[in-house]
Structure 1
Amino acid sequence: MSTEETQIPEESVTEYEVGQDNLQRFGLDIHNPVFPISAAVIITFVALTLLFPEAVDGFFGWLRPAITSTFDWFFILAGNIFVLFCLYLVLSPLGKIRLGGKDARPEFTYFGWFSMLFAAGMGIGLMFYGVSEPITHFTASLEGGSAAPLGGAVGNELASRRLGMAATIYHWGLHPWAIYAVVGLALAFFSYNWGLPLTMRSAFYPLLGERVWGWPGHIIDILAVFATLFGLATSLGLGAQQAVAGLNYLFGIPDTLFSNIVLIVLITGVALLSVLAGLDAGVKRLSQINMGLALLLLAFIFAVGPTLVLVRGFFGNGWEYIRELIPLSNPFGRGDDAYRTGWTTFYWAWWMSWSPFVGMFIARVSRGRSVREFITCVLLIPTIVSVIWMTVFGGTALTQTIAGFDGIVDAALEVKLFVMLDQLPLSMISSFVGIVLVIVFFVTSSDSGSLVIDTITAGGKIDAPVSQRVFWASFEGLVAIALLAGGGLAALQGAAITTGFPFAFLLIALCWSTFLGLRAERRKPFLENVRAEAS
């Protein structure tokens, strides 16, 4: 495709926006048919799941292993493609392009920017898996089970510890943030530099041309809505399970499905208040509060835990991650199939289903950054923080386990964090802070997710009526409740994989489309100078 073919006719965007006027008179500003189709399908799904929970449980129980065992190589290969594409952009001349034009400047400070990245991106996941995943990989590796990373290190505690941490960081390092980065970059670039609506279809203009305003674009946006909603529901369900488990562990509150539903309803209500407060007063403020609490809890565990072990562990774990990165990311590796299908494939599908949400939210707050700055910060800084987080939380739990405490290994996934904190001073306070963190991450994810889904269903407009965000925030909670009632954790993970699989194909195409757009943007000044000299 030539540079001229990738330019945007102004009338295209105008016609796209005018075509939505027929729905604005009802007090809404929705994109027909993306909004009604998405809403109708999701309402139907919630109703059927609540009416037939056993059938839904059986369906997702079959679907998740069917996809992960058949297409594990594809998910892992796709993750590698996204990392390599990001590294190419950092090193290439395309990295000099500024999002919003050469005179654009960032709207947020680095601290505010990073706070929103983490609150929207992986907050609940880091709290849920910060202790449970390193312990699980360590145990499987030590025992040589079928779910051991790279076949395990049977009987060797030190090797099992290193391999368990490397496998954990692999799931929370470069690969997931590369998925977020390619989506966030594409949305920001095509919106701020080309003037297209801030929605997924816009990122495919170099490939589809005017067809992005028709049914090919409608399908892309509808898939983005489904992926975002089910990816969010997975995270909200995990967060609710961990918060209720923590309340049960600390205060004896019954850990039942009813308790999970009540908590989801209450937190969704708080998220609605944040929605009404707006981006700056709501999401930004809550994100910064949560970032401060997370750093406080991290510093506390580092100070009262095995500090020297953790300091050595940070560098050792980082090195082990780099050393094992290629074997772990080999899409055709063998000997660790249960680990690949049970962990890596689920994670990659989860991150891909989350990518429209996190990517669009990152795009909303990243105007003024250069492509190189954007990729470097979104890719490397969170990876370093993830290494620190997993080292402190997972390393402390591993040290306790190796010292002879078996409580963490025997505990359920959602309780392992609180069992680990119970072995440290001031455990009641730190555990309560942990519960608060999960809840506030829950709120910011729900608020941010409703903002993103509303932007997609409003055709890329960022100032749609608040009532629409209230609708989507409410249904995020309802979908999480429906999935918990219809199969618990297995249903949540199955939903993420179901939406992540088709979205992986779209993301690969998105990388090529973004490259074409960036290349056209870089050639634009040169072509303008040539034309000026010729005239």
Structure 2
Amino acid sequence: MEVGKTGTVFKVTIGILLIAILIGVIAPDALENITSAAQGFIANRFGWYYLIVVSVFVVVCLYFIISPYGKIKLGKPDDKPEYSLPSWFAMLFSAGMGIGLVFWGAAEPVYHYATNSPTVTEGTDEAILEAMRFTYFHWGVHAWAIYAIIAICLAYFKFRRDAPGMISATLSPIMNTEGGLGKAIDILAVTATVSGVATTLGFGAVQINGGLAFLTGLPNSFWMQFVIIAIVTFLFLLSASTGLNKGIRILSNVNMILAFLLFLFMLIVGPTLFSLNLFTHTLGKYVQTLPSMSFRIAPLEEDAREWINSWTIFYWAWWIAWSPFVGTFIARVSKGRTLREFTTGVLIVPSVVGFLWFSIFGGASILLETEGTAAISELATEEALFGTFEHFPFGIVMSIVAITLISTFFITSADSATFVLGMQTSNGSLNPATKVKFTWGIMLSATAVILLYSGGLQALENTMIVAAFPFSIITLLMIVALFKALKQEKSKMKKESKQAK
């Protein structure tokens, strides 16, 4: 590991996490109470802020697609993309949403339909359409816009301006980030990253446990989840030791193959026509109502506001907390692509794939519920997917493939996270030392274990929402700095063009 600046960021963030882990071991109830109180305060007082700030991210991304800035490369003018389009999509998708899509694919739509509809009466035909529309909303362009903004800023300053690959370096056009302020920003970014990644790893462990419990009768307990995390930690540290072009790239491609097989299998044996019709209809509804959903805060409806806090605000915070990791990773593998190509690819392609995924798996779980075949909504969230598979041909085979997929997504996400955290605490090194990656791998797993121990999934969610809030402010500043840098570059290019004439 490098010395100097890197030592401060690395040591302080490790220290913060060790203190949090220690509190979680000694007083788990206190940790849950603290995070719950902070989460409630932020969601109630600043829910409006989350909606506005994430909508700003979407508008900025759309602007890059249509503006002259879209021609600018994330790299030098003669740089070529390092990875093929299929490998690029596989890596950004595996890092961005892998475990989450499998975890919520069958669960979220049927839950909105049967238990807690955002706008209409549960169990009705309208509730089916609303369930899909709001699921698309939570997993669509808003989520990927958050990732894209962070990745654009990091890739532009790293590959075009040769700045260190650090969050603080992206703010250099508007402030001096060489001293303590820059370190504080990087410490906050790393802390938010650990929070977001640990939450997702916790979800993965819980669902692997849920699948094994559903299929084999093994206990669904914290200690089983602890064993799962320990085994997966060994595997992703093994992958991390091989480097970016071996472990992560190969596993990402394996993920996409397994996900495609699972998707294709369910498409064939599931309610194909119903799911495709549902996808087509609700996609139109999503596009039509995107602006109104983006700013829906329900100030006069207490129940609706509670739903927004529990779902939309939770998701926006999750993506923001996850974004330093995903953004850094996507930036690392996107050198040589233009702003327009990058933004279109990151914003549109994964969103549409996610919509199809929810239509196939969520559509199947909803149909089982509406026909009275199974009460999927009454299962634990982590068991909904396996409960859905149970009622279709080759259900056990699909469940085994799903558990394997979750495991490989788990390994890829954790492996990618150790790489990103290594970068962020090694002065932006594109090849952080193995011992630094190993340290972060162990810390990620320990954080996930302690959060599960201190309050299960609720503690994971609370911590993430708290960590996301300050980082969202940094992201806004990153946008301001990026536009200032782009404006300077545009002026420089015009001046050079005039001189050439």
TM-score by length of 2: 0.97
The corresponding residue for 2:242 is: 277
The corresponding residue for 1:428 is: 396
Residues 271-420 of structure 1 correspond to what in structure 2 (within 5 A)?
A: 271-334=236-299, 335=301, 336-420=304-388
Distance 2:487 2:94 in 1: 32
The corresponding residue for 1:52 is: 27
The corresponding residue for 1:501 is: 469
Matched to 2:60, the amino acid is F
Distance 1:443 1:179 in 2: 23
1:331 is displaced (CA, Å) by 4.6
Matched to 2:166, the amino acid is T
Which of 477, 487, 510 aligns to 2:478? It is: 510
Q: Does 1:120 align with 2:95?
A: yes
Q: Does 1:438 align with 2:409?
A: no
The corresponding residue for 2:183 is: 218
The corresponding residue for 2:448 is: 480
RMSD of equivalent CA atoms: 1.4
1:22 is displaced (CA, Å) by 4.9
Q: Which runs of 5+ in 2 are unaligned?
A: none
Distance 1:403 1:156 in 2: 11
The corresponding residue for 1:455 is: 423
Q: Which deviates more, 313-322 or 232-241?
A: 313-322
Which of 155, 158, 161 aligns to 1:191? It is: 158
Contact 1:97 1:522 in 2 (8 A): no
1:354-390 Cα deviation digits (max 9, x unpaired): 1110000000000110000000000011111111011
1:158 is displaced (CA, Å) by 1.8
The corresponding residue for 1:174 is: 141
The corresponding residue for 1:63 is: 38
Distance 1:289 1:401 in 2: 32
Distance 1:464 1:381 in 2: 30
Which of 34, 37, 61 aligns to 2:9? It is: 34
The corresponding residue for 1:76 is: 51
Residues 103-182 of structure 1 correspond to what in structure 2 (within 5 A)?
A: 103-140=78-115, 147-149=116-118, 151-152=119-120, 154=121, 157-182=124-149
SS in 1 for 2:6: coil
Q: Which runs of 5+ in 1 are unaligned?
A: 1-19, 24-29, 141-146
1:524 is displaced (CA, Å) by 2.2
Q: Which deviates more, 56-65 or 303-312?
A: 56-65
Matched to 2:159, the amino acid is Y
Contact 1:74 1:331 in 2 (8 A): no
1:391-446 Cα deviation digits (max 9, x unpaired): 11101111111111342011011110100011111111100111111111111111
The corresponding residue for 1:95 is: 70
Change (3 A) 1:529 1:485: same
Change (3 A) 1:313 1:21: closer
1:228-284 Cα deviation digits (max 9, x unpaired): 001001000011001001001111111111000010011011000000111111000
1:148-191 Cα deviation digits (max 9, x unpaired): 32x32x26722110011000000000100000000000000000
1:71 is displaced (CA, Å) by 1.2
Matched to 2:187, the amino acid is I
The corresponding residue for 2:491 is: 523
Which of 250, 255, 267 aligns to 2:220? It is: 255
The corresponding residue for 1:6 is: none
The corresponding residue for 1:206 is: 173
Distance 1:179 1:454 in 2: 22
Distance 1:275 1:155 in 2: 45
Contact 1:317 1:391 in 2 (8 A): no
Distance 1:429 1:332 in 2: 42
Distance 1:117 1:36 in 2: 29
Distance 1:456 1:351 in 2: 18
1:532 is displaced (CA, Å) by 5.8
The corresponding residue for 1:16 is: none
Matched to 2:291, the amino acid is I
Distance 2:385 2:429 in 1: 40
Distance 1:166 1:331 in 2: 14
TM-score by length of 1: 0.91
Sequence identity, in percent? 36
1:220 is displaced (CA, Å) by 1.0
SS in 1 for 2:81: coil
Distance 2:117 2:38 in 1: 23
